[in-house]
Structure 1
Amino acid sequence: MRFSHLPFSDNVVSGGRPVLRVAGRLAAAGVILLAVAACDSVKSLNPFSKPEVYKPEIVPVKPAEELYNDGLARSAKGDFEGAYKAFDTINRQNPGTTWAQKSLIMQTYVAYEGGRYDDAANSGIRYTTLYPNSEDAAYAQYLLAMSYYKQVPDVTRDQASTQRAVQAFETLIERYPRSEYVKDGKFNLQVVRDQLAGHEMEVGRFYLGKRNYTAAINRFREVVARYQTTRSVEEALMRLTEAYVALGIVSEAQTAAAVLGHNFPESPWYKDAYALLASKGLEPREDTGSWISKLFSGGQFR
C-alpha cells in the first residue's frame, strides 16, 4: 500500500502505518514548546495574573496652625498658589472652626493677589454669607467687588462682569457704610457705571448709524435714566436730539437739547445740539411733560 497522497514527503511505513521521521517529531515538539513559552511570557506581562497587594499610604495631617503659618509665609514670598492650597486645606479639614474662618479670608486675599479672580469672588461670597457680621466681612466684600472689577471688559463686549461689580460695590457701600473700603468702593463704582454707560452709548451709536432710530433712542434713554452722573449723559442727550429730529418728533428733540443746555451749558455736545436744531429752523425748548424733563426735574438729576 502506498501513501503518496499524504502530506508528508518523507514518510516510511512500519507495520502498515505511516510514521513521521524523528525530525518531524522534533519540529512538532518545538512548536508546542514555543507556544507554551509564549503563553508564559504573555502571562508574565499580564498585570491581572499577579496577586494585587494594597499598600495604604499614610499621609500625616498637619495641624491647622502649622498650615496657616505656612500659608502666611508663602503669601509673603509671593507664592500665592502655594498659599492658596495651604488655606484651602485648612478649610477642608477644619470646617466650622475659627481656623476655617481665618483661612477663608486669607484664601480670598491670595486668590485675588494671584490673579485667580473667579476663585477670589467665590471665596468672598462664601465668607460674606457665612460671616456677614465679622470684622473682616467688609474686606471680603471689597475683594469680591474688586475681583469682578478686574474682569471688566472693554465697552464693545458683554458687560456681565461689570454688572456684578456694580452690585458688589453697591452692597459694600450700603452694608458697610463706615468701612475704610467705602471711599475706594465709591470711586470704583463710578468707574464701572461709566463703563456700563459707555457700552450703552456704543450700541446706541451703532443703531443710529444704521438709522434704526427707535433702537438708538432706547439705548440713549437708558443712559439718561440710569447713568446721569456719568460722563456719557451729555452725549446721550445730544444723540437723543439727533434721533428725534430724524424721526420728526420735534418736541422731544427740543426738550433734549434744552435739558442739555440747562445742565451743561458749556458742553460741546450742547453746542452741537443747538446747531442741529438751528439748521432745521428750531431752538431748544423744554416740554415739562416729556419723559426727559421729568427725569431731570424734582431732584432726580444726581
Structure 2
Amino acid sequence: MKLLKLTSLLSLALLFGCADKEVAVPDVPPSQLYADAQQALQGGSWSTAIERLEALDSRYPFGAYTEQVQLDLIYAYYKNDDLALGLATIERFSRLNPTHPRSDWVLYMRGLTHMAQDRNFLHDVLNVNRDDRDPEPVRAAFSDFDRLLERYPNSAYAKDAQFRMVALKNRLANYDLATADFYLRREAWVAAINRSQELQKTYPNTEAARKSLEIQKEAYQQLGMDEQVKRTEELMALNPQ
C-alpha cells in the first residue's frame, strides 16, 4: 500500500512538473515567442531561451522561424551544457539543410560541442590530470575542425578552428603518452616502445613526443637492446627540453 501511494505521488509530481513547464511557455504568437527567446539569449538566460525555442520548434515546425530556431537551439544547448541535445540538433539541421549558408558555423559548433564533452567541471576545479581519459570526443572534435578547414577554408571560423586543433592534437598526444607510461609501469616493454613510436609518428611536433623518447629509452634498457638505446639517445639530443 505504501509503495502504491509513493508511486501515485511520483506520478502526480511528474504530471504537475510537465504542466508547470507548459504554463511557463505562454500561448502567444510565434513572433512574440521568438522575440522572448532572443531576449533570453542576449541576457544569457539559456534555460529560458531553450524553453521558448523548443516551444516554437514543436508548435510551428514549418514556420517562418524554423531554420533560425534550430540554429539558436544549437547555440543555447551548447551554452547550457546540454551537449547530447546540441549534437542531435546539429545532425538534424545538417540533414535537412545540407547547403545552408551557415553550414560552416554549424560544423564549427559541432567541433565545439564535441570538445565540451571532454570537459569536466570537477576536474577543472580540482585540477585533476585528465590525460588518461578516453579521448573519443577529442578525436571527433579534431575531425570536425579538420573538415571545416577542408570545406570552408575562407570561413570566419577557420582560424579559430585551426588554433583549437593544436590544443586537441596535444590532448591526443598526451593520452598516448599516458598509455605508453602505463605500459612501462606494467613492465610491458614492447607495448611501451610501440606506443611511444606511434606517438612520435602521429604527433611529431609535440612535447609528448619528446617525453615519449624517455619511455622508449627505458624500455629498450630493460630489454637489453643497447643499440636501440643509443639511437634513442641520439633522438633525444636532437630534441632537447
> How does the TM-score come out when normalised to structure 2?
0.76
Q: Which residue is equivalent to 2:210?
A: 234
Partner residue of 1:84 out of 50, 53, 73: 50
Q: Report how many aligned residue pairs link the two structures.
A: 207
* CA-CA distance at 1:205 after TM superposition: 0.9
Q: Which residue is equivalent to 1:258?
A: 234
What runs of 5+ residues in structure 2 fail to find an aligned partner? 1-24, 120-129
The SS at the match of 2:117 is: coil
Q: Which residue is equivalent to 2:78?
A: 112
Q: Which residue is equivalent to 1:175?
A: 151
Distance 1:156 1:69, change over 3 A: same
- After TM superposition, the structure 1 stretch with the greater mean CA deviation from structure 2, 101-110 or 91-100, is 91-100
- Does 2:115 match 1:134? no
Q: Distance in 2 between matches of 1:98 and 1:245?
A: 69
Q: Distance in 1 between matches of 2:227 and 2:62?
A: 64
Distance 1:64 1:218, change over 3 A: farther
Q: Which residue is equivalent to 1:72?
A: 38
Q: Which residue is equivalent to 2:184?
A: 208
> How does the TM-score come out when normalised to structure 1?
0.62
Identity of aligned residues (%): 24
Tell me if the contact between 1:148 and 1:162 (Cα under 8 Å) persists in the aligned partners.
Answer: yes
Q: Tell me the amino acid that sits aligned with residue 49 of structure 2.
A: A
Q: Tell me the amino acid that sits aligned with residue 232 of structure 2.
A: A
Q: Distance in 2 between matches of 1:231 and 1:180?
A: 30
Q: Distance in 1 between matches of 2:29 and 2:153?
A: 37
Tell me if the contact between 1:127 and 1:137 (Cα under 8 Å) persists in the aligned partners.
Answer: no
Q: Which residue is equivalent to 1:272?
A: none
The structure with more helix, counted as a fraction of residues: 2
Q: Which has the higher contact order (CA 8 A, sep 6+)?
A: 2
What runs of 5+ residues in structure 1 fail to find an aligned partner? 1-58, 269-302
Q: Tell me the amino acid that sits aligned with residue 92 of structure 1.
A: S
Distance 1:61 1:225, change over 3 A: same
- Does 2:65 match 1:99? yes
